[in-house]
Amino acid sequence: MMRDLGAGAVALLVVAAVAGPAPAAFAAANLETASWAITPEDAACHTDLEMVSRSGAVAPVALTADGEHVALRFAKPGVAARAFLPIRVDGRPFSNLVQRTGEEGVALMNLSDQTLAAMRHGKTLQVAWLAEEAVSASLAGAGQGIADLKTCGAQVAGQHRAREAELDAQRVRAQAEARAKAVADEQLATARAQTAAAEAERQRVAAETRRADAQADELVAEAAQQRAMAQAEQQRAYADQERQRQLAAQRRYADGDGGPPPPPEYYRPYYSPR
């Protein structure tokens, strides 16, 4: 455990070193002040006290400070969730509110300013309800010890609040970044979906255009084929008519109705260019 003498104790030790040997009472006071060991916690500081009964049984307790309150922390099986219990300083009772913590069997008694003032100037702390028999502890050096405890608690609590504030800021930044990333991802997904839909539409239109072109080509080919068939039919009809004319001329010649038979004409089919 870390021992904290406090600014007042250090100053007294310097004066003693310069001035020479001090009276026994003064040296005893310095030793008493130095006996308070202050230990920092996560968000508070504490100092341990051993409360002893007449039979020698020990009931450990601790004084804690978080920069705002000083409390007596103790462990007692079956402690009530809330209670208003007394402690005694030099035989005088001081009642304070007790509240159970989240830890099983551990509770805190928040000490009032009146109780702390009595402890700073008192000699003995007594608790009758903590164990099977009353227990007590010396309050020697409590004046400087409680002051150092409150100073330590204020510093540690301030650092804890700063860390929590930074963690909160980091969480806020992380949440904001996560939200921004989610929005960006959603926008990117929307843009990709729109691009994919546009590409699908383009491909659909292109396919329909190809189908329309193919159908048009088929219609053009079919029309050309029909024109060719019509022209061939016309050629056949013309050839038939020409043969019929020649046959008629030959019959007239044979019957003596006309001159010499007409020479057979050379028939050349007519094909129109496509």
Per-residue confidence (pLDDT) for residue 245, from 0 to 100: 85
Per-residue confidence (pLDDT) for residue 183, from 0 to 100: 94
Q: How confident is the model at residue 26 (pLDDT cuts 50, 70, 90)?
A: very low
In percent, how much of the chain has pLDDT > 90? Answer: 64
In percent, how much of the chain has pLDDT > 70? Answer: 81
Q: Which residue has the higher pLDDT, 117 or 1?
A: 117
Q: Enumerate the domain spans of the chain.
A: 1-35, 37-165
State the fold for domain 37-165: Immunoglobulin-like (2.60.40)
Per-residue confidence (pLDDT) for residue 274, from 0 to 100: 55
The full 3-state SS of the chain, as one line of letters, equals: CCCCCHHHHHHHHHHHHHHCCCCHHHHHHHHHHHCCCCEECCCCEEEEEEEEECCCCEEEEEEEECCCCEEEEEECCCCCCEEEEEEEECCEEEEEEEEECCCCCEEEEECCHHHHHHHHHCCEEEECCCCCCCEEEECCCHHHHHHHHHHHHHHHHHHHHHHHHHHHHHHHHHHHHHHHHHHHHHHHHHHHHHHHHHHHHHHHHHHHHHHHHHHHHHHHHHHHHHHHHHHHHHHHHHHHHHHHHHHHHHHHHHCCCCCCCCCCCCCCCCCCCC
> pLDDT of 234-268, one tens digit each?
888 888 888 888 888 888 888 776 566 666 655 55
> pLDDT of 144-198, one tens digit each?
999 999 999 999 999 998 999 999 999 999 999 999 999 999 999 999 999 999 9
Write down the pTM of the prediction.
0.56
> pLDDT of 64-114, one tens digit each?
999 899 999 999 988 889 999 999 999 999 999 999 998 888 999 999 999
Per-residue confidence (pLDDT) for residue 244, from 0 to 100: 87
> pLDDT of 115-126, one tens digit each?
999 999 999 999
Region 132-147 average pLDDT: 94
